[in-house]
Structure 1
Amino acid sequence: MKISMIVAYGKNWEIGLDNQMLWHISEDFKNFKKITSGHHILMGRKTFESIGKPLPNRTSIVLSKNGFEYEGVHTFCDVKEAFDFARENAEEELFIIGGANIYKTLFLYVDKMYLSEVDFEGEADAYLNEIDFTYWDLIEQKDYEAIIEDDKVKSPAWKFKVYEKRD
């Protein structure tokens, strides 16, 4: 089973503030949905609570140490048990979707990264650890321009990149 992470982050590795995303980029949300649909998605409890419900057409796995329960969600306190659950369900590509602590803790397991690099600098309280790309190959990149409406940035510019870990 391939273990992938999918994350959007700003210029200073910002990923969230007050358990919320820092921007709204509808094209990035569509991309996230397309990539993760039909797969198992693994997240921490706070990330699940920020989403508020299981996402359609995906199997939600939540890592939590304090017995979190929610209908339609599979909760584990041990990452190995979570990975085994996905494997037992014939998952081919498990997606880690956050938050900061989950990304940090599980990064060493990651085989593939789907990264949205957002042209954003601002206040945050959750950050992605800086990634050393030395051991990764860029296999796909698409650049998106900012969307401006009424002289305001509706959606910042961003780059979508896919990396695979070198053998």
Structure 2
Amino acid sequence: MIHKNISIIVAIAENFAIGKNNDLLFHLPNDLKRFREITTGHSLIMGRNTLLSLPKWPLPNRRHIVITDKPDDNFPGCETVFSIEEAIEKVKNEEEAFVIGGGMVYKQFYPLAGKLYLTLVHQPFDADVYFPEIDFLEWEETARQNFYDEKNGFNYSYLNLKRKSIE
């Protein structure tokens, strides 16, 4: 079942690579600003490793829902849940909640999400974590901005996508 209020926000390479050694593949300061602007005031759903990879948590002005399979996990300033269903239940009355990773969490939420906010880097990267392959025919592009990052030497785009099967 698609959940209109569940959105995924992710930075991916063209080969769907998203991470290596529990870290991001590239550093794009403007993408981090975009992430903050889009997610501030909303709930963030993430796996425990994603939370632990953040330089500082909880991120300001956002509710943190951490999915874990370790019953003793306790993350100050965050809510802990033990299933995807429990996370969905916590945000069911919210206008929009954001899934922010990691790989296993993205894989489980991808078939359920109504929107994708992608930062797409137009080159492949070596990685150990990948986003599920996106069938772009299932999605309607609602916005796109293209950029070139001189420091990293690559092109990237911001894409906002809405699943076609929902209104």
TM over 0.5: yes
| Alignment counterpart, residue 78 of structure 2, candidates 73, 77, 102 | 73
Residue 163 (structure 2) aligns with: 165
1:92-151: CA deviation from partner (whole Å, max 9, x where unpaired)? 101000011111111111000000001342321111111111121001000011224xxx
Q: How far apart are 1:50 and its partner, in Å?
A: 0.3
Distance (whole Å) between structure 2 residues aligned to residue 156 and residue 143 of structure 1? 11
Residue 35 (structure 1) aligns with: 38
Distance (whole Å) between structure 1 residues aligned to residue 58 and residue 20 of structure 2? 21
Residue 143 (structure 1) aligns with: 146
Which ranges in structure 1 are unaligned for 5 or more consecutive residues?
Answer: none
Q: Does 1:57 align with 2:38?
A: no
Distance (whole Å) between structure 1 residues aligned to residue 8 and residue 145 of structure 2? 18
Q: Give the TM-score, by structure 1 length.
A: 0.91
Q: How far apart are 1:53 and its partner, in Å?
A: 1.5
Distance (whole Å) between structure 1 residues aligned to residue 28 and residue 155 of structure 2? 9
1:52-93: CA deviation from partner (whole Å, max 9, x where unpaired)? 421111000011011221111101002222122123xx4210
Distance (whole Å) between structure 2 residues aligned to residue 83 and residue 127 of structure 1? 23
Residue 114 (structure 1) aligns with: 117
Other structure's SS at 1:131 match: coil
Which has the larger helix fraction?
Answer: 1
RMSD (CA atoms):
1.3
Which ranges in structure 2 are unaligned for 5 or more consecutive residues?
Answer: none
Q: Does 1:127 align with 2:125?
A: no
Other structure's SS at 1:3 match: strand
Which AA in structure 1 matches 2:83?
Answer: D
Residue 102 (structure 2) aligns with: 99
Among all aligned residue pairs of Structure 1 and Structure 2, give the percentage whose two residues are the same amino acid: 34
Q: Give the TM-score, by structure 2 length.
A: 0.91
Residue 4 (structure 1) aligns with: 7
> Where has structure 1 moved over 3 Å in runs of 4 or more?
none
Counting matched residue pairs gives 160
